[in-house]
Amino acid sequence: MAERDPISQRRPRFCGDDSKQFHVTGRMVLAGLVAFFGLVAGVNAIMIHAAVSTFGGVETDSSYRAGLAFAREAATVAAQDARHWSVTAKAALEGNATVVEVTARDASGQPLANLVATASLLHPTDRRADHAVSLVSEAAGSFRGETAAAAGQWDLVIELSRGGERLFRSKNRVWLR
């Protein structure tokens, strides 16, 4: 008696007669691949559109000009450090307003007079949400202003100038609660 090969004897069994068996054809495989990659490309297109249309991050208009300004900024920072000024700031939510208070003193602890102060609350990820704060001098070296910034994380930028020349600049991360 001849020995039977058990693997070659196995055949898939389907219900019904043999003419109704399911066969995968080349056209079906092609259609499946085209549908899959078409779906992936469609989802990518939607995500790209969403990312580009909602981008509000920081952009540099001219990196060349920004590079040239760096040396001037380094000299300004060195001059600021040589003054040894003590500038403190407080930003807090009070009701529906955000109050910014700035105090400036010289190296000997005396209040600085004849300064113009400006402040900005910059949103870390969306510059469309930035707020300029109008600071008013309450006394020599003391400034106060209000804006409508919401609670959250912000960069507080303070600039002090005299006669149109910026003498001090500070940028610090603050939490408004």
What pLDDT shows up at residue 46?
Answer: 96
| Location of structure tokens 């001059």 | 79
DSSP code of residue 111: B
Whole-angstrom distance, CA of residue 26 vs CA of residue 172: 63
Mean pLDDT of 146-163: 95
Q: Mean pLDDT throughout 77-101?
A: 95
Structural domains of the chain sorted by starting position, each given as residue range(s) with its CATH number in brackets: 84-176 (2.60.40.10)
pLDDT band at residue 71 under the 50/70/90 scheme: confident
Residue 140 dihedral angles phi and psi, to the nearest 5°: -60, 120
Is 134 a residue whose pLDDT tops 70?
yes
Question: How confident is the model at residue 17, as a pLDDT?
Answer: 54
